[in-house]
Structure 1
Amino acid sequence: MASNQQPPSNLETYGVPIYAVDWILEEAVRSKITKDQDDDDDDGSSSSSYIVLSGGGGEGRSGIPNVILICRVDLHTNSLSEQPIGRRVIGTDLPYRMAIHPRQGGLICALPNSCRLFDWENIIEDDNEEESEKVVKELKDVGQQLSLSFNQDGTVLATGAEDGTLRVFEWPSMKTLLNESKAHASVKSLTFSESGKFLLSLGAPLCRVWDVNASAAIASLSKEKDEMFASCRFSVDNSGSEVLYVAANTERGGSIITWDTTSWRRRSSKLIKRNNSISAFNVSADGKLLAVGTLEGDVLIIDSTKMQTNQIVKKAHLGLVTALTFSPDSRCLVSVSFDSRARLTVIKQKGEKRMSSISVGGGIVVCVGIRGFVLFDGGNGDHTLDIRKESL
C-alpha cells in the first residue's frame, strides 16, 4: 500500500541531481530579492538564510536542465523553501563544482571545459544574456576542474583539474602564482589553511602541501595500507592551533585522519563509519564539528575533539551524499544528493540526548549512468566523490 506521508519541511526536492551546495551571506542577496520572491518578517527582522545549489543532467538527452539555484532557509521553522527564489539555466554545461567568493559575493562554477563567474542578481533574475556571465579567460579550455577553492580573505583562488594540473591565482587580477601540470594524476580536493599560508591538494595516492607564497611543495602526506584519500579540510582545534583533517576510505569503512600542520605527521586516525564509504566531508566554521555523508545516504555529525558521533541521520538521502556544508554559525547543516533533494539538519546543542533518526518521506529517484567514479573533494560544495554522469 502506497504511503501518503508528506516529506518533512526540512527536506525538499528540486528536480535535478545536485552536485554542490554552499551557504550565502544574507546581506549579499537580501537587496536583490523582491517581496514576491521572499516573505519578510512582520517586525522587519529576518529569520532567513540562503543556500546555493548546482547540478543537472549534463549533456545527456534526459531533458533534465543544468541549473544554479538559490533557495531560502527559514531558521525559525527549520525549513527549506519549496521553490527556489533564483534559478539560472546553464544550457548543456553541467555546473559541476563551485566556489563562493567570501567577500565580493557571487560564485565561480566549473563547467566541463572552462570556469564562469556568476553574480547573485543574474541567478535570481535568471538573466540568460551572455553578458550576465563571464568566462574566466585564464580558465578557458582547460578541461574539467574537480575542485575550486578561495582562501579565507578571497585574495587567492586555487583550481584542481581532472588531468592533474594545479593552478593558483591572485584574485581578482588572475596573476598566476602556481601552474603545476603534474601535481597529481587527478586533483580531487583542495583546502587552504586558516592563515592562507598553506594549500593542500589531494589526489591518489597522496596529499601535497604547498607554500602559497613560495609557490612550492614542502611536504607529501602518504596513505597507509589500503587507505584511499577522499577529501581534505584545514581547520583549528580547541587551542586555536591549525589542524588538517583528511577523510579516507578503507576496506573496513570510512575514517578521518588528523595531521599536525607543523611536522606534517599523523596525529591520529579514527574509523567513523564501519562497512560504509565516505562520499562527502566538511568541517564547521568554528572547527568543533565534522560532517560526513556516505554512499548509503547517511549523514553523520562528529565532535572534532573526541572524534565521537553526536548525530546520525540514517537514510537522509535515497542515494550517496554528494556534498554537505555547515551554516556560517555552525548551527545547522545542509546535505545534497543525486536524489535531487536538499536536507536541512539542525545541530543538537550540548546536553541533548544523542540522536539517531531514520529519514522518511517521498522523493524523486533520478536514474543515471555513472560515467566516472573517483573519490574526490563540497563545496563548496566540495565534496568527496567525483561522479559525473549522463542521464539515461
Structure 2
Amino acid sequence: MRTQHTPHFLTAFPVYCAAFLSPTRLVLGGGGGAAKTGIKNKLRVYDVADNRTITLVDELQLDPGDDAPMSIAVDLETGTLACGVNSPEDKMKAGENQNCRVFSFKEQKLGLLQTCGTLVATELDDFQRVTVLSPNGKLLVAAGTTSLQLLSFPSLAPVAPVINTDKEIYDVTFSQNSIVVATTDNLLVYALPSEDKESPSKNKKKGKQKAAALSELELLQTVDSPAAVSGSTGSTFRAARFHPENSEILYTISNTVPGRSRTRKAAPRQAYVCKWNTKTWAADKVRKVGDKGLTCFDVSADGNLLAFGSSDCSVGIMDASTLSPQVTILKAHEFPPTTVKFNSTSRLLVSASADNSVRIISVPDSTEKSSWGMVLLIIITFLIALLAFFMAQQMQQ
C-alpha cells in the first residue's frame, strides 16, 4: 500500500524520543548527550500541518551538563509529559541524579514541574531508557538498564519497591491490571496494586517507615521467547505493547542472536513480530519482518496497525490482526530509527533518528484496505456463481 511521507532535517538535533501532545502537536527529545559536543540537549514542540510540514512552537534547552532526553511519555488529557534525563555527572556521583522529570505544556510553553531519582547512584552509565504511563494516567514506570520503579503520576511518589532484573530491560507496557516488562531473555508479568494502594498520599507513615510499607508487585508469569523465533540460536525481546482496547492481546518484537562459529559464517540477525494471547501466553501469530534487527516499535491508538523501525534504516507498518505488511519506507533515515510513534487519531506516524531527522508519515486508511477486500470478495463470489450457472446450463444440454 502506498502512502505519503515527508522528511525533515533538524540542524544539530539528534532525536532519541518522540510523542504526540495532541493529534497535530509533536514533542521531540534529543541532543548531543552528556559529552561536550557543542550540541545542546533539548525538548522541542512542533505543530504538524495537514501537508506534513512542521512548525516549531517552543524549545526548552536543558541545563548545562544534563544528558539528552532518552525516553518520553505524554498524558494527553493534561498535556503533561514525563522524560528520562540524567543529571550532570557530578550530581550522579553524589547520588543526586534527578533522572525522572515531569514537564507541563501550557500557553505554548514547556516548563519543569517535578523531578525524582530512580536509578542507582553508582551506575554512571545507566539511563532511563523506558518511560511509560498507565492507560488511566495515574501510574508511571521509569526503567533503567536492569531496574524499574513504579511511581504515582504526576507526583512521582513511589508506589512499589524498585524491581531489579537479571537481564536488561528494553520495554514496559501497561494493561488495566498488570504490567509486562520486556527483558532480553523473557517477559515478566506483574500484577498492578489495587486502586486503593495506588496513591501513597493515603499512607500516613513518613520517611523510611513509609517506604517500608510499600508492597512488592506480584510476579504472575515469566514468558520465554517462542520456539519459532528463538530456534537454536536464541533471541532477545526489544519491545512489548498491549493492544490498546483488548488486554488479552500483546505484541512483541524480537531479534535473533546469531550463533558463533569458527568454521562457518554467522547467520544473519532476523527480526520477528509476535502476537500473544495473554490468557494462555501462547504466541498466536509470529511473522518474520526482516534480516536486520528492529530498533523501535509502536501500536496505533485504534489497535489496527503496528509500526517498527529497523537497523537497515527502514520504517514499516503492519496490520495488527494478520501481521501482514502494509507500508515499507526504505532508507527512511541515514541512521537506524530511534523511535516511531502514532498520533492519537492513528492518522499520523512519526519516525526519528540520531541523524538529525524526523519523517512524518500519513497513515493509510485501514477502511480503504477493508473496503477493497470486500469488493474483491464480492467479485469472486459473483464469478463463482456465474461459473456454476454456466456449468449447470451445459449439464442440462
TM-score (norm 1): 0.73
Aligned CA distance change for structure 1 residues 352 and 182 (closer, same or farther; 3 Å):
closer
Q: Counterpart in 1 of 2:9?
A: 13
The question of 1:189 aligning with 2:138 is answered: no
What pairs with 1:97-136 in structure 2 (closer than 5 Å)?
97-112=71-86, 113=97, 114-121=99-106, 124-125=108-109, 132-136=111-115
Question: Could you say which structure has the higher helix fraction?
Answer: 2
From 242, 246, 256, the equivalent of 2:252 is 246
Q: Name the CA distance, whole Å, in 2 between partners of 1:121 and 1:103.
A: 12
From 117, 121, 137, the equivalent of 2:116 is 137
Following superposition, the deviation at residue 269 of structure 1 comes to 1.3
Which blocks of at least 5 consecutive residues in structure 1 are unaligned? 1-7, 27-48, 127-131, 354-392
> For the Cα contact (< 8 Å) 2:191–2:220, is it kept in 1?
yes
Q: Name the CA distance, whole Å, in 2 between partners of 1:262 and 1:111.
A: 36
From 138, 146, 154, the equivalent of 2:137 is 154
Aligned CA distance change for structure 1 residues 252 and 133 (closer, same or farther; 3 Å):
closer
From 236, 252, 264, the equivalent of 1:228 is 236
Paired residue type of 2:102: L
Q: Name the CA distance, whole Å, in 2 between partners of 1:173 and 1:69.
A: 23
Following superposition, the deviation at residue 136 of structure 1 comes to 2.1
Following superposition, the deviation at residue 165 of structure 1 comes to 1.5
CA deviations 1:179-212 (Å, max 9, x no partner) are 244234332211101xx21101111211101100
> For the Cα contact (< 8 Å) 1:102–1:152, is it kept in 2?
no
The question of 1:256 aligning with 2:273 is answered: yes
4+ long deviations beyond 6 Å: none
From 323, 334, 340, the equivalent of 2:339 is 323
From 279, 284, 287, the equivalent of 2:300 is 284
The question of 1:218 aligning with 2:226 is answered: no
Following superposition, the deviation at residue 249 of structure 1 comes to 0.9
Q: Secondary structure of 2:169's match?
A: coil
Following superposition, the deviation at residue 85 of structure 1 comes to 1.3
Aligned CA distance change for structure 1 residues 245 and 86 (closer, same or farther; 3 Å):
same
Q: Name the CA distance, whole Å, in 2 between partners of 1:12 and 1:92.
A: 27
Q: Secondary structure of 1:52's match?
A: strand
Aligned CA distance change for structure 1 residues 186 and 342 (closer, same or farther; 3 Å):
same
The question of 1:201 aligning with 2:181 is answered: yes
Q: Secondary structure of 2:312's match?
A: coil
Aligned CA distance change for structure 1 residues 340 and 109 (closer, same or farther; 3 Å):
same
CA deviations 1:111-148 (Å, max 9, x no partner) are 123212221148x547xxxxx42442354775521101
The question of 1:168 aligning with 2:150 is answered: yes
Q: Secondary structure of 1:345's match?
A: strand
Q: Counterpart in 1 of 2:93?
A: none
Q: Name the CA distance, whole Å, in 1 between partners of 2:71 and 2:330.
A: 26
CA deviations 1:229-263 (Å, max 9, x no partner) are 111100057xx563101101124521111111112
Q: CA RMSD in A?
A: 2.3
% of aligned pairs identical?
Answer: 23
Which blocks of at least 5 consecutive residues in structure 2 are unaligned? 87-96, 195-216, 257-267, 371-397
* Larger gyration radius, structure 1 or structure 2: 2
The question of 1:66 aligning with 2:36 is answered: no
What pairs with 1:294-373 in structure 2 (closer than 5 Å)?
294-349=310-365, 350-351=367-368
TM-score (norm 2): 0.72
Q: Name the CA distance, whole Å, in 1 between partners of 2:270 and 2:285.
A: 16
Q: Name the CA distance, whole Å, in 2 between partners of 1:56 and 1:174.
A: 25
Following superposition, the deviation at residue 101 of structure 1 comes to 2.1
Paired residue type of 2:27: V
Following superposition, the deviation at residue 213 of structure 1 comes to 2.0
Count of residue pairs the alignment pairs up: 309
> For the Cα contact (< 8 Å) 2:118–2:149, is it kept in 1?
no
From 88, 92, 98, the equivalent of 2:65 is 92
Q: Name the CA distance, whole Å, in 2 between partners of 1:64 and 1:314.
A: 28
More off after superposition, 341-350 vs 61-70: 341-350
Q: Name the CA distance, whole Å, in 1 between partners of 2:17 and 2:9.
A: 15
